[in-house]
Structure 1
Amino acid sequence: MQQKNTVTYAWAASMAADERGHYPISLLKLALSKSGAAYQAQASKHDMPQWRTLRHVQMGKELDVVWTFTTPEREKDLLPIRIPIDRGLLGWRLLLIKATDTDQFAQFDNVEQLRALRSGQGHDWPDFPILRANGFNVSPSSSYQGLFAMLARGRISYFPRSLTEIESEVQSHQQQGLVIAPRWVLNYPAPLYFFVQKEKTSLAAAIERGLLMAMKDGSMRQLFLQHFGAAIKQAKLDQRSVVQLNNPYLSAETPLQRSEFWFSPALGY
């Protein structure tokens, strides 16, 4: 029996209860199983901030694979597998607002009214410069939880969140009276890729081969809908006005023309 090479992914075993890791980990294991190569995925031993995981992967120290929102800098430092693992769902953004502002957002009839209001994002998140580049009035915050407090206190009017994140955030901040705004959804290309060390071309090729095989045989679709189908259905995108934004921070190699790689509201996948 062929011995399998261990691939350590940047998500500690101690974080197993955190649902954000469930889909990427399952997809990585699926891709490796279909790659035809002898790889076996395992969790990292230590929890660490993202900047450190990226550095460890770059250095080939303890970690082999990380998944993250791409930027030109990350593509320069690491080797990306340019297949958006969540089909770009990260870039489908519903608006978290105060319940008392629901009628106001329902009555808006153009995107300029959204641009005129102050929104919030993490100061070091890729979303922050994207929204700024599209003319939105965005306030930066150094604290994730601080953004919910800013919204509750009226310092910002809305907080764009991925449709895969927003429902759980509404539930976990019930005391602050936050809800999902009616009518609107923002969309911009936001590829979430697997990355490996530049020198690990064989591993990158195996992951890409496995992902393409999983797309072809339908197993990636099945996994995607298992994890995100309920959130997509709940978002009722067919009843919303889509505000299409540009992402000027993508590299020229981003596969924007590969429609089979990207989520389609019409298909629900």
Structure 2
Amino acid sequence: MEVTLLGTGDTTGTPTVGCDCDTCERARSMGVERTRFSVHVESASGGTLLIDFSPDFRYQFLREDCDPPDAAVVTHIHFDHLDGLGNVYRLVDELPVYATDETDPTTGESVAQTVRGRYDYLDAVSVEPTAPFETVETAGLELTLVPVDHPPLLCYGLLVEDSETGSRLALSGDTSYAIPDRSLDVLSGADLLLADGIVPAENCEYHPMGGRHHDDAGVPRTFGDKHMTIEGARQLGDRLDATETRLVHLSHYIPADRAFAEDMAVDGARFEL
């Protein structure tokens, strides 16, 4: 399985438009970036999967020279994970898009229903409603969506297993540290974990809700209530016993001298699992 990180940033990306903070300037000087989140996976059999549709879809695929996907999965309906779907217009003849069938109390519809409703003009796209914890096979891969914690919307983590080699990629999804135990069991033991970590724990003092899910040393593992801190994401990697962990969904609010540590992903990183 080959995993290409197309987008590793948060909602605004790094560098952020109009920003000259030290972290954005460091990214520019290094020639790296973190566009909005998306991951490309190629199975051992040659099938390709796209995880989430970044608004930066066109740029990402041109930059990394990736072919359009054979299948896709949507973890939740926030714009930075979904609004790139329109880019597949005229690029594919058919594209099954897997999304959960669980009704969200906030929206009154499932992720699958929202995707279908917003993109019903894309004749090539077929939305495949999928139950949480149900494993489906596509593009030489086995996919299992699992609930995580990203209020107020339902959001899902994902396990991707290569049907031929058994290699395993896990994504925490956009989440706080409060991932349900059953979901943790599914995500554990991966060859590579992509963990949502948006800012260092010290930044919680600037959030109206502060920090949550403190560890034994009093360090918050959740920033506000939606995303893990850097420390929380690293602890999740240890807890899930991942062979490798890379932090994604990173913001430009990480101090420049720490923003590009080895485990903090940048766009274009590739992994052979």
TM-score range, shorter chain: under 0.3
Please identify the structure whose Cα radius of gyration is greater. Answer: 1
Q: Report the TM-score when normalising by structure 2.
A: 0.25
Structure showing the higher helix proportion among its residues: 1
Return the TM-score normalized by structure 1.
0.26
Larger RCO: Structure 1 or Structure 2 (Cα < 8 Å, ≥ 6 residues apart)?
1
More strand by share: 2
